[in-house]
Amino acid sequence: MAVHAFTSFSFSYLNRARVLASSIKRVHPDWIVWAVISDHAPPSFTFDIEQEDFDRVLYLEELFGADSDRWVFCHDVIEACTGVKGRALKRILAEDGCNKVFFFDPDTALFNPMHETVDTLNTHSIVLTPHQIDPEPRDDKRAIKDNEICSLHYGSFNLGFVGVANTDEGRRFAEWWDARLTDWCHDRLDIGLFVDQKWCNLIPCYFDSVKVLRDPGLNVASWNLSQRTVNFDKQGMARVNGSPLKFFHFTKLGPIGDRMTLRYAKDNVEVHELWYWYKDEVEKNTDPKIPKNWWKFGLLSNNMKIRKRVRELYRESKKIQRIYPNPYAINIFSYLFLSLISINFVRSLLKIINRLFKR
Partner 1 sequence: MEIRLKSVVNIIFFSPRTGHLRPLVRHVLFDRNLKGRKHFRWITHKKSGRIKRKFLNIEQPSDNLSIAERQIQILSITRNNREDESLFSDWRQKIACVNAETLIILLREHLISRSLAISFSHDNFKKVSGGIQLCVDKELGHFNENGRDYLHVYPKIPVTRLADKGEDIAVGLSINGIELPPAHMSEVLKLVRLIASEELEITFVIHHLMGHSPEIIGQMIQESGKHPTYFWVHDYFSLCRSYTLLRNGIQYCDAPDTRSNACMTCAYGADRQDHMTRIGKLASAKNMKLVFPSEVARDILTCSAIGFDTSEAIILPHIRLNEVATVTERSEKKPCPKLDSITIAFIGTPVHLKGWDVFRQITELSRGDENLNFLVFSAKPPVPGNYRWIPVHTTADTPHAMVSALENCQVDIVITWPGWAETFSFVTCEAIVGGAYVITNSWSGNVARLIEKHGRGIILESQSALLDFLSSPKLSEAACLIMTDREKSRFVAENSKLTYEIMESH
* Residues of this chain that bind partner 1 (CB under 8 A): 111-112, 232, 234-238, 245, 266-267, 269-270, 272-274, 276-277, 280
CB atoms within 10 A of CB 180: 17
Q: Report, in angstroms and rounded to the nearest whole number, the Rg of the chain calculated over CA atoms.
A: 21
Give the nearest distance from C-beta 234 to partner 1 in angstroms.
6
Q: For residue 2, which amino acid is it?
A: A
Least distance from partner 1 to the Cβ atom of residue 146, Å: 20
Q: Minimum CB separation from partner 1 for residue 34, in Å?
A: 24
Min dist. Cβ of residue 117 to partner 1 (A)? 17
134 versus 280: smaller Cβ distance to partner 1? 280
Euclidean distance between CA atoms 165 and 120, whole angstroms: 9
CB of 122 to partner 1, least distance (A): 27
C-beta of 106 vs 217, nearer to partner 1: 217
Q: In this structure, are residues 34 and 55 in contact, taking their beta carbons and an 8 Å threshold?
A: yes
> Distances from the Cα of 237 to the Cαs of 2, 112, 113, 220, in angstroms?
27, 8, 11, 15
Q: How far is the CB of 2 from partner 1 (least distance, A)?
A: 24
Contact call for residues 179 and 86 (beta carbons, < 8 A): yes
Contacting residues for 23 by C-beta, under 8 A, at least 6 apart: 109, 110, 111, 247
- Complex with partner 1: residue 48 or 267, whichever CB lies closer: 267
Nearest CB to partner 1, comparing residues 18 and 198: 18
Bin 6: left if φ > 0, else alpha if -120 < ψ < 50, else beta: beta
- Is residue 254 within 8 Å of residue 208, measured between CB atoms? no
Considering beta carbons, is residue 97 or 236 the nearer one to partner 1? Answer: 236
Contacts of 324 (CB under 8 A, 6+ apart): 314, 330, 334
Tell me whether residue 231 or residue 321 sits nearer to partner 1 (CB atom): 231
Q: Which is nearer to partner 1, 234 or 359 (CB)?
A: 234
Distance in Å, CB of 267 to partner 1, minimum: 4
